[in-house]
Amino acid sequence: MARRSRLVGVGGFLPERIVTNVELASKLDTSDEWIRTRTGITCRHIAAPHDTATSMGAAAAARALSYAGLKASDIDAILVATATPDQAFPATAVRIQAELGMTSGFGYDISSACSGFVFALTTADSLIRSHQAQRVLVIGSEVYSRILDWSDRGTCVLFGDGAGAVILSASESNDGRGILTTHLHSDGQLRDLLYVDGAVGQPEKSGKLRMSGRDVFRHAVEKLSSSVDEALSSCHLTRENIDWLVPHQANIRIIERVAKKLSLPADRVVITVDRHANTSAASIPLALDEAIRDGRIREGELIIMEALGGGLTWGTVLMRL
Ligand code: UT7
């Protein structure tokens, strides 16, 4: 009997403040039209001073626990994907562990930028399959508003803040549900295409996000398409078997190209980029939360998740709900 990681809980948190393209255009040399047509974004949520990766991640986690009907003490491990932790250390995961009142288990952070959730989900699946954990809380939580250069129109209009969480639970059943396969990649030769200039180790630098948008776009379309093929062929599945694409939400044009490659109609693709913009590691769990709670994605359906981000890092997770 195969031991698999099954998704049993979802939760999300978005800061209260919504910033529209029109508001940005009143402060920056940009326009609602440019942002919408180039990216699909109309607005984004921006963190209040009291919102942090920990507070937002803990709020999303509490909602996922309640969805699953579980208590924090039922969780064995917390993995947090974030590029914007509250502190260099301790990890955001242990801060969330404390916020949730968990006195057992363990937690650590994963740094893979926008691919972070896919990397964290893969790690959580490995912990479960290797019997090191029975239930894992996987969180993506990001406050990119604090690492954006608000004078750079080429990047600051693209991102938003938020957190999403899922709970994976070990299942020994033979019903085919759970994570079927995961595929991760990175290419450090491409690290200068998307990065944060400085951090605690380089305090003399600005600590702001820098991106060669056009190059990242090209790599995203190419690498995500081949990563999706890789995942399908490893399970002897074809694109006709896919019920849902739940992609990282960076740009509607990238998402549409991957959906076209999979021959998926628009109503089989979960989109949040229009309202959330790019929330980095939080974007996939926020999209899952929305589409599972509103009943679009149903038990037994096959979901493909994919993401590409700074590193470059990229990967795919194939899961039957
Ligand atoms: O999540 C991590 C992964 N990130 C991504 O996947 C992002 C990938 N890249 C993209 O989504 C797109 O490349 C962008 C949305 C960032 C840019 O779209 P683009 O169609 O590649 O535009 P571009 O960078 O080639 O810029 C076209 C023009 C430039 O002007 P010139 O040189 O043609 O005169 C830019 O200066 O658009 C200008 N521009 C803007 N104009 C108005 C750049 N940003 C803006 C802006 N408003 N906000």
Query: Which domains, ranges and CATH numbers included, belong to the chain?
Result: 4-171 (3.40.47.10), 178-320 (3.40.47.10)
Mean of the per-residue pLDDT values of the chain: 97
pLDDT of 293:
98
212 lines ligand 1 (CB under 6 A): no
Q: Across the strands, what pairs with 305? A: 246, 317
pLDDT of 200:
85
User: What are the angstrom distances between the C-alpha of 260 and each of 35, 213, 256, 263?
Assistant: 22, 21, 6, 5
On whether the CB atoms of residues 65 and 99 are closer than 8 A, the answer is no
For residue 261, name the pLDDT band (cuts at 50, 70, 90).
confident
CA distance 318 to 321: 10
Assessment of whether the complete model's pTM goes beyond 0.85: yes
- Of the residues 21, 43, 45, 114, which is catalytic? 114
Given the CA of residue 280, which atom of ligand 1 is nearest to it?
Answer: 1
On whether the CB atoms of residues 10 and 21 are closer than 8 A, the answer is no
Question: Is the four-CA dihedral 194, 231, 303, 60 of positive or negative sign?
Answer: negative
Active site residue 248: yes
What whole-number percentage of the chain has pLDDT above 70?
100
CA distance 118 to 282: 10
CA distance 307 to 124: 17
What are 78-102's pLDDT values in tens digits? Answer: 999 999 999 999 999 999 999 999 9
CA distance 217 to 223: 10
Helix%, strand%, coil% for the chain, nearest 5:
40, 25, 35
pLDDT of 199:
84
160 lines ligand 1 (CB under 6 A): no
Q: Is the pLDDT of residue 1 over 70?
A: no
For residue 284, name the pLDDT band (cuts at 50, 70, 90).
very high
AA letter at 313: T
For ligand 1, mutation pick of 217, 256, 273, 280 (most atoms within 8 Å of CB): 217
What are 2-46's pLDDT values in tens digits? Answer: 899 999 999 999 999 999 999 999 999 999 999 999 999 999 999
